[in-house]
């Protein structure tokens, strides 16, 4: 049986102003990633991005986003992610950068990594977590 | 008996196959323009090829390491050398269709990993 294989990238959107994070939209991130890939890899990259690329999940409060890429070209498209400097939503340009935390084969593994990451990878979001880090 | 054996070994046909022998690839190309009177300098030709690479392969493609070794302005024939991404250069030459809004085409005459192979061409050979 022929199987469609994909890779899921768990990324974190880092913004300097946390209130702007709530404005994020999955379509805005999709547009930003496609534009960055088209700039960095040209027509070849834009074509690879158009097959089976999508934003699977977005959490605007923590800034976690899951991206799905096809397995054959995920490394090439991953290399274009550092070139994203801002995301444009609702007429505003939010300067940010994408941090890739985990690459998974199945979405399930990515969600598990996200729960683990809530304590380890991510920046402390609440005061309680900040105090824990200080100690 | 030994001498006879050595002679037999000397006449054995040996085939040598080289894989990835040279890191460079050399291309002999000719630019064919709709308007035959236009002339390009070597710098303009290199810039034109870089714009083609950029449209197909983006910023990463525009950074492909290639050189114009020889260029003949009258016939618009050039000798290009590319380091390792022959496929990228050749495909962008194929898809390069217009120069200053005029139709153009790149004819690739010869490709070889060895420069010596580009000195002779059986198509242009004249037997007197």
B60 shares contact with chain A (CB less than 8 Å): yes
Instruction: Report the pLDDT averaged over residues A12-28.
Output: 83
Query: Which fold would CATH assign to domain B25-119?
Result: Alpha-Beta Plaits (3.30.70)
List the strands of the sheet with B66-72, edge to edge: B66-72, B77-82, B25-33, B102-112, B98-99
For residue A68 the two structure tokens come to: 């799905």
Residues B25 and B82: beta-carbon distance below 8 Å: yes
Burial environment of residue B5 by CB neighbours within 10 A (0 to 12, 13 to 18, 19 or more): exposed
> What integer pLDDT is reported at residue B77 of this predicted model?
93
What interface predicted TM-score (ipTM) does this complex get? 0.73
pLDDT digits (tens, 9 = 90+) for B27-62: 999 999 988 888 899 999 999 999 999 999 999 999
Q: In chain A, what residues touch B57 (CB-CB under 8 Å)? A: 41-45
pLDDT digits (tens, 9 = 90+) for A112-129: 666 666 555 445 455 555
For residue B68 the two structure tokens come to: 């114009």
Q: What is the mean pLDDT of chain B?
A: 87
B32 shares contact with chain A (CB less than 8 Å): no
The pLDDT confidence band at residue B65, using thresholds 50, 70 and 90, is very high
Q: Check residue A13 and give left, alpha or beta (phi > 0: left; psi -120 to 50: alpha).
A: beta
Q: Which residues contact B48 (CB under 8 A, 6 or more apart)?
A: B40, B96, B99
Q: In chain A, what residues touch B56 (CB-CB under 8 Å)? A: 42-44
> What integer pLDDT is reported at residue B107 of this predicted model?
93
The shortest CB-CB distance from B56 to any of A39, A40, A44 is to A44
The pLDDT confidence band at residue B6, using thresholds 50, 70 and 90, is very low
> What integer pLDDT is reported at residue B119 of this predicted model?
87
Instruction: Report the pLDDT averaged over residues A83-105.
Output: 85
Per-residue buried b or exposed e for B49-62, using 16+ beta carbons within 10 Å of the residue's own CB: bbebbbbbbbebbb
Q: What is the mean pLDDT of chain A?
A: 80
The pLDDT confidence band at residue B2, using thresholds 50, 70 and 90, is very low
> What integer pLDDT is reported at residue A130 of this predicted model?
53
Please judge whether A41 and B54 are an interchain contact, meaning their C-beta atoms are less than 8 angstroms apart.
no
User: How big is the A-B interface in CB pairs under 8 Å?
Assistant: 30
Q: Which residues contact B85 (CB under 8 A, 6 or more apart)?
A: B64
Please judge whether B55 and A45 are an interchain contact, meaning their C-beta atoms are less than 8 angstroms apart.
no
Please judge whether B56 and A42 are an interchain contact, meaning their C-beta atoms are less than 8 angstroms apart.
yes
Residues B87 and A73: beta-carbon distance below 8 Å: no
Mutate to test the interface with A, among B54, B58, B85, B88 (most CBs of A within 10 A): B58
- Smallest CA–CA distance from A80 into chain B, residue: B60
Percent of chain B with pLDDT over 70: 92
Please judge whether A41 and B55 are an interchain contact, meaning their C-beta atoms are less than 8 angstroms apart.
no
Query: Which fold would CATH assign to domain A6-125?
Result: Alpha-Beta Plaits (3.30.70)
Percent of chain A with pLDDT over 70: 79
Mutate to test the interface with A, among B60, B61, B87 (most CBs of A within 10 A): B60
Please judge whether A39 and B55 are an interchain contact, meaning their C-beta atoms are less than 8 angstroms apart.
no
> What integer pLDDT is reported at residue B5 of this predicted model?
46
Q: In chain A, what residues touch B54 (CB-CB under 8 Å)? A: 42
- Asked which of A21-25, A28-32, B94-98 is least confident by mean pLDDT, the reply is A21-25
**pLDDT of B73 over the 70 cut:** yes
Please judge whether B60 and A43 are an interchain contact, meaning their C-beta atoms are less than 8 angstroms apart.
no
- Smallest CA–CA distance from B53 into chain A, residue: A42
**pLDDT of B118 over the 70 cut:** yes
- Could you tell me the residue ranges of all domains in chain B? 25-119
């Amino acid at each position: 049986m022929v199987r469609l294989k994909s890779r899921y990238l768990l990324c974190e959107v880092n913004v300097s102003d946390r209130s702007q994070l709530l404005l994020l939209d999955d379509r805005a991130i999709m547009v930003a990633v496609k534009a960055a890939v088209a700039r960095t890899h040209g027509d070849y990259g834009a074509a690879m991005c158009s097959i089976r690329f999508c934003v699977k999940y977005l959490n605007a409060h923590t800034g976690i986003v899951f991206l799905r890429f096809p397995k054959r070209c995920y490394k090439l498209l991953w290399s274009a992610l550092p070139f994203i400097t801002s995301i444009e939503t609702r007429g505003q340009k939010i300067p940010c950068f994408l941090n890739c935390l985990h690459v998974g084969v199945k979405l399930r593994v990515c969600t598990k990594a996200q729960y683990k990451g809530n304590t380890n990878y991510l920046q402390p979001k609440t005061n309680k977590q900040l105090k824990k880090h200080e100690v | 008996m030994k001498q006879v054996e050595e002679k037999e070994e000397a006449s054995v046909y040996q085939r040598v196959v080289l894989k990835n022998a040279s890191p460079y690839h050399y291309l002999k190309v000719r630019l064919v323009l709709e308007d035959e009177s236009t002339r390009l300098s070597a710098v303009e030709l290199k810039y034109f090829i870089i714009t083609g690479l950029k449209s197909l392969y983006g910023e990463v493609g525009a950074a492909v390491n290639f050189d114009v070794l020889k260029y003949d302005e009258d016939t618009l024939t050039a000798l290009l050398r590319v380091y390792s991404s022959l496929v990228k250069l050749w495909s962008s030459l194929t898809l390069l269709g217009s120069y200053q809004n005029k139709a153009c085409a790149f004819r690739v005459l010869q490709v070889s990993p060895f420069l010596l192979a580009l000195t002779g061409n059986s198509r242009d050979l004249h037997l007197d």
